[in-house]
Structure 1
Amino acid sequence: MAKSRLFRSTMIVSSMTMLSRILGLLRDMVLMSVFGAGGLMDAFLVAFKIPNFLRRLFAEGAFSQAFVPVLTEYKEKRSFNEVQLLIARTSGVLSLILLVLTVVVIILAPQVITLFAPGFIGDAQKFDTAADLLRLTFPYLLFISMTAFFGSILQSYGRFAAPAFAPVLLNLAMIGGTLILAPMMDTPIMALGYAVAVSGILQLVIQLPQLWQQKLLVAPSINFHDDGVKKILKLMLPAIFGVSVTQINLLLSTVFASLMMAGSVSWMYAAERLSELPLGLIGVAIGTVILPSLSASRAKADQETFVKTLDWAARLIILVGLPASLAMFVLSNVLMDALFVRGEFDANDALMSGVALKALSGGILGFMLIKIFAPAFFADQDTKTPVKVGIISVFANMLFSVLFIGIFYLARLPLHGGLALATTAASFVNAALLYFILHQRGIYRFGKPWRKRFAQFIIASTVMVIALYLLLPFYPAQQTQWYKLLWLLIICLAGAAVYGVALLATGFRPSQLRHH
């Protein structure tokens, strides 16, 4: 029963995430069409990326990975009243920290923009607009972090639908802001700042009814001396560099991109959004679902279930991540052309974004593996190991950035492509080191059955790539956008079908995906 619930929970999170990602893709198509790449769009993307980066770092990354194991331990070993007290004190401390941080950033907005986008300094309009937008978007961090906090509680109690649906509201708010509010404003791009702030409130509110039903909606209280709070903070501080290291690397890429030609930030953003599509659908969904299960296995000292859960997650990740990575590489230019070329986003923007997507596509599998290997450590309340690996990965990203930018410069290729390739390389460094340590400690390793699985996945993916290359010449590059989208859908579905048939031909069966 528990195993079927795990799979059902994954499907719930994945389906809600799919809806969010589809709307997110529609949102980006609308944004690029109305505002184009470069100029003030770069300013918004930087202003939005800063709180969004911190959200992933603190709320979805370090905080949830530190909070869920402690909450699970309280559920297993303590009374319900003690669980409520932990929630009250943790929410009080978290909201106080976030409130102080929000006020400081609003006051120091120009200095923060200087830190994260030094290339904007020479363009007064872009710099000032970015600072104004940051003041509007940064309160989003407070609301969305509390949303993630409440979502972690609901997920620990097996309630995944509301937390997974919440991001849909961000996409709807930004689409509404672009199409309805922007035309009414003197500086249309500012509408996006208001939309982001409102969406944070909406995502928080949608969690409250289920919390109330579970009797977990308790008034916050501030107590830094509570044992549970101290334990969470102790786990959280080093975890900041753990599971969220991918976001740090992507942010470093934004800093470098701000120093390059106008449009580089937007091109990188468009590529990142598409590369995150399979990551969000499967990687984030599985990572979200397995953490409470892994934490419960650790609390019960059930090593067998712990390993089986991790192995099941790895099977799903590689089943989807490997072909997704290869397909994204093959279809990068077609994806950008079909999805984004309209309005202010022209063919050159699509070409430049395609360069970044090609380089980022290779890292999709690496990003996904991090999502399951890191929780294996956090479930054991070990945050030191991922932080060490994270620091190594950040430095690797810096070195790779310098190396690949130099190579791309000498080869006369767009420099932002070198940045994207550095992010990909750093993700594999991170994933490989996490796995090596799990293997070395005897916690988890790819056993003998994986030899056959790897062969099956590689053969099926190779057949799919050949099929995609054979289908590409049929793409109608000179037709209308809707006709292009139709053909893109046909090519993607055909590629998926070929992959599935090839996988079955190698002897792989759906039963191998069961959580045994």
Structure 2
Amino acid sequence: MALLRSFATVGGLTAVSRVLGFIRDILIAAGLGSGPVADAFFVAFRFPNLFRRLFAEGAFNAAFVPLFSARLEQEGREAARRFAGDVLSVMLSGLLLFTALCLALMPWIMQLIAPGFTENSEKFALTVELTRIAFPYLLAMVVTALLGGVLNSLYRFAAAAAAPIILNLFFIAALTVALPHFATAPGHVLAWTVTLAGLAQVVFLALCARRAGMSLRLPRPRLTPGVRRLLALMVPGVLSAGVMQINLLIGTMIATLQAGAVSYLYYADRVYQLPLGILGIGIGVVLLPDLSRKLRAGAGEAARDSMNRALEYALLLTLPATFALALVPESLVTGLFQRGAFDDEAARATGQALAAFAIGLPSYVLVKLFQPAFFAREDTRTPFHLTLVSILANVALSLLLFWRIGFVGIALATAISSWLHVVLLVVVLSRRGFLEPDRRLLDRSLRSLLASALMGGLLLVLAPQVNAWLAMGPLGQAAALALLVGSGLAVYALAALLLGAVTLGEVKRLLRRRNPDAVS
């Protein structure tokens, strides 16, 4: 139950962040809709966000956490602290140079990232300018990721999980307080908000690390043996840990060829990222240091049990979200976003993209859980090779389906290629003995699937009944969403308990007990 309580800590704080993120996106949708300024900002935000996920969170965490955990377990806190300081110094030096280079070459980079924008000189110039403003966010996120990795390795998961809340609070403040005074430059307001929020996250996590006794010094950059080992692990990990972001970037590049497509895909992405962030990313954050420390201690059987329980809990919570997003996407999108500049056409198009993305939701979560089994063993090459196959499949499918069914094909290609990725991971993990599903995992997963199907049937019946409410303004939309979400959750919870997908005793123990290491 300690592992589940840690999942709940990270998932709960991530849920707060994602709910605030929804409020942020509702405000953006009302103010910008799916027009040229919105397209320009979303590209500008996604570009540094891609590198954040690849370097700062994806590849960096995949390499840093096992190495830091090993020093912590075998050499003690002071050796681990010195290693973290050496890494931070080298990473900041390299990324300062990288950032300066990107800022100088941004017009040429944007021709590759947003080829469809080159036909509109004003839109292209705005995208370049906004990206330059937001790009320093990457530097802040490198420091944030390192401090978060340190705290997670100490089983102090709450601070790193809470840090993204700061970004959304900054956005909400900017959209409600600053934007009315700078209505002629909404994109610039949001781009500056990104960078300032990144700096605020650094300050917050630095204070949390200091409380945990892990204040980091910044020595002269040196390629120590530990740093060289980290970089060697990071190179293949850049692709393997950031496959979702790479696929989304590929989709964005292709989507720039169709008016409004970038915005439709962005809003759809934001909806399905709620369960993905709470479950896949949250469980993955907890699982990596847990596996790393157990393997270092020689507890192989305990590590395999952690993997099975992580898969069980992930499927228990992911499957109902998949059914809901795939079966009633337009009702959900309308209730969340349709107001102001976000019209009927935008809601319909975004709902179509959401349904396609939702088909792959379980696979996105499973990838986040299977990869730590490699990373914890300091193997980033195998996931890299498997990821490369998935990305190539996504590129081919995106191009093929885009020319046939437009932007919806991009979302569908992302889902199909992600399921291919899962199949490849399962085959390799099973052959190496890293994945051995126990009877409880298989039995409970089937029960979760049946409970989700029952909930899906209810939503199909309810959705046509509440669609009229969605046209009644904010109150009607709120009532429709409350009925759909509340009824769905109630039916799924009851079905899961009756079918045995989860027991009442487990729920009670989770609510009564708390893991002190997980929340400090």
TM range (shorter): over 0.9
Residue equivalent to 2:500: 507
Q: CA offset at residue 400 of structure 1?
A: 1.4
Corresponding position: 1:112 with 2:109: yes
Residue equivalent to 1:441: 432
Q: Write the distance in 2 (CA, Å) between the matches of 1:454 and 1:176.
A: 42
For residue 271 of structure 2, the aligned residue among 271, 274, 298 is 274
For residue 255 of structure 1, the aligned residue among 223, 248, 253 is 253
Q: CA offset at residue 321 of structure 1?
A: 1.2
Does the CA contact (< 8 Å) of 2:140 and 2:202 recur in 1? yes
How high is the TM-score relative to the length of structure 1? 0.95
Q: Write the distance in 1 (CA, Å) between the matches of 2:312 and 2:347.
A: 34
Residue equivalent to 2:298: 301
State how 1:82-161 maps to structure 2 within 5 Å: 82-161=79-158
Does the CA contact (< 8 Å) of 1:362 and 1:424 recur in 2? yes
Corresponding position: 1:484 with 2:477: yes
Does the CA contact (< 8 Å) of 1:241 and 1:387 recur in 2? yes
Which amino acid in 2 is paired with 1:501?
L
Q: CA offset at residue 417 of structure 1?
A: 0.4
Q: CA offset at residue 512 of structure 1?
A: 6.9
Q: Alpha-carbon deviations, 1:444-501, whole Å to 9, x = none?
A: 1323334422331222111111111111122123312222222212111111211222
For residue 488 of structure 2, the aligned residue among 480, 495, 507 is 495
Q: Write the distance in 1 (CA, Å) between the matches of 2:243 and 2:159.
A: 26
State how 1:18-417 maps to structure 2 within 5 Å: 18-185=15-182, 186-260=184-258, 262-408=259-405, 415-417=406-408
Does the CA contact (< 8 Å) of 1:224 and 1:230 recur in 2? no
Does the CA contact (< 8 Å) of 1:182 and 1:190 recur in 2? no
Which amino acid in 1 is paired with 2:114?
A
Q: CA offset at residue 223 of structure 1?
A: 4.1
Q: Write the distance in 2 (CA, Å) between the matches of 1:113 and 1:508.
A: 48
For residue 416 of structure 2, the aligned residue among 408, 425, 428 is 425
Which amino acid in 1 is paired with 2:286?
V
Q: Alpha-carbon deviations, 1:307-349, whole Å to 9, x = none?
A: 0000010001111111111111112101111111111111111
Q: Write the distance in 2 (CA, Å) between the matches of 1:198 and 1:448.
A: 49
Q: Write the distance in 2 (CA, Å) between the matches of 1:292 and 1:283.
A: 15
Q: Alpha-carbon deviations, 1:114-159, whole Å to 9, x = none?
A: 1110111011111111111011100001001211111110111121
Q: Write the distance in 2 (CA, Å) between the matches of 1:466 and 1:149.
A: 44
Q: Write the distance in 1 (CA, Å) between the matches of 2:213 and 2:452.
A: 48
Uncovered stretches (5+) of structure 1, i.e. residues with no partner? 409-414
- How has the CA–CA distance of structure 1 residues 121 and 181 changed in structure 2, closer, same or farther, with 3 Å as cutoff? same
Residue equivalent to 2:513: none
RMSD: 1.6
Counterpart of 1:108 in 2: which secondary structure?
helix
Q: Write the distance in 1 (CA, Å) between the matches of 2:8 and 2:401.
A: 38
Counterpart of 1:443 in 2: which secondary structure?
coil
Which amino acid in 2 is paired with 1:194?
W
Q: Write the distance in 2 (CA, Å) between the matches of 1:147 and 1:450.
A: 35
Does the CA contact (< 8 Å) of 2:254 and 2:399 recur in 1? no
Following superposition, which runs of at least 4 residues in structure 1 exceed 4 angstroms of deviation? 511-515
Which amino acid in 2 is paired with 1:506?
L
Counterpart of 1:241 in 2: which secondary structure?
helix
Which amino acid in 1 is paired with 2:485?
C
Corresponding position: 1:457 with 2:448: yes
How high is the TM-score relative to the length of structure 2? 0.94
Q: Write the distance in 1 (CA, Å) between the matches of 2:82 and 2:11.
A: 31
Counterpart of 1:325 in 2: which secondary structure?
helix
Which amino acid in 2 is paired with 1:497?
A
Q: Which has the bigger relative contact order, CA under 8 A and spacing at least 6?
A: 2
Q: Write the distance in 2 (CA, Å) between the matches of 1:215 and 1:455.
A: 45
